């Protein structure tokens, strides 16, 4: 599962472009990752501002990270 730290996102869209299963939705003020995510972590590596992190990542405050599954 990929965690999203929405307050860090600059909404560049790099994660959306690299997702092989097209499961990332970029909205005006948030990112949502759908249940169809395959945890390839390409979005994590491409993100220039470290908005995304794999679940269990060191240094990610669970209170500031959100997960969304629609």
- Residue 41 belongs to some domain of the structure: yes
**Mean of all residue pLDDT scores within the chain:** 84
- What are the backbone angles phi and psi of residue 61, rounded to the nearest 5°? -75, 115
pLDDT (average), residues 32-59: 89
pLDDT band at 59 (very low <50, low <70, confident <90, very high): low
Number of folded domains in the chain? 1
pTM for the full model? 0.76
Given a cut of 60, whether residue 30 has pLDDT beyond it is yes
The four Cα atoms 58, 8, 40, 16 give a dihedral, to 10 degrees, of 180
- What is d(CA 38, CA 5) in angstroms, rounded to the nearest whole number? 19
Higher pLDDT, 63 or 28: 28
Listed in sequence order, the residues at least 6 apart from 24 whose beta carbon sits closer than 8 Å to its beta carbon are 15, 16, 31, 32, 33, 34, 37, 43
CATH number, domain of 26, equals 3.30.70.20
Range of the domain at 7: 2-54
């Amino acid at each position: 599962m990929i965690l999203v730290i929405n307050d860090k996102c600059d909404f560049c869209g790099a994660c959306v472009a690299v997702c092989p299963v097209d499961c990332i939705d970029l909205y005006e003020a948030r990112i949502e990752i759908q249940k169809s995510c395959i945890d390839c972590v390409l979005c994590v590596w491409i993100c220039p501002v470290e908005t995304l992190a794999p679940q269990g990542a060191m240094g990610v405050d669970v209170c500031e990270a959100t997960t969304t599954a629609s």
